[in-house]
Amino acid sequence: MLGTTFGKSFFKIRVIDDYAKYPSLKKSFIRNVLCLINLFPTFTDVTNKKGVAIMRMNFNMYLNNKICKTYVVKTNNIIKLQDILNQGIEIIKSSIQL
């Protein structure tokens, strides 16, 4: 299974890179190591609607994707994303040829 785990395949989501391709083995490894950082929550002070200050615990699950430039997308959207990227490439190529 490329770009997915059992949980991701169950929910029909995949990990892709900037080019809508599956990340390399190296990038996948780094991304998964960075998941360990996500286990440590950050705490923020928040004021609720009644004006009472409370502390909220946040898990930043996007950090590993941001660092590795990967994205988690629905499986059925991958082909659409690839088409959009290919259209953009064609536009760039045609503007260079002018």
Nearest to 82 by CA among 6, 21, 14, 11: 21
DSSP secondary structure, 36-68, as one string: TGGGS-EEEEEE-TTS-EEEEEE--TTHHHHHH
**Does the pTM exceed 0.75?**
no
Question: How many independent structural domains does the chain possess?
Answer: 1
CA atoms in the 13 A half-sphere facing the CB of 59: 8
Could you state, in chain order, the average pLDDT of each consecutive group of 10 residues for the chain (98 residues)? 75 90 90 79 76 74 84 90 88 79
Domain that holds residue 40: 6-97
Residue 88: its pLDDT value, please?
86
Residue 98: its pLDDT value, please?
59
- Is 1 part of any domain? no
Residue 62: its pLDDT value, please?
77
Residue 59: its pLDDT value, please?
65
- Is 43 part of any domain? yes
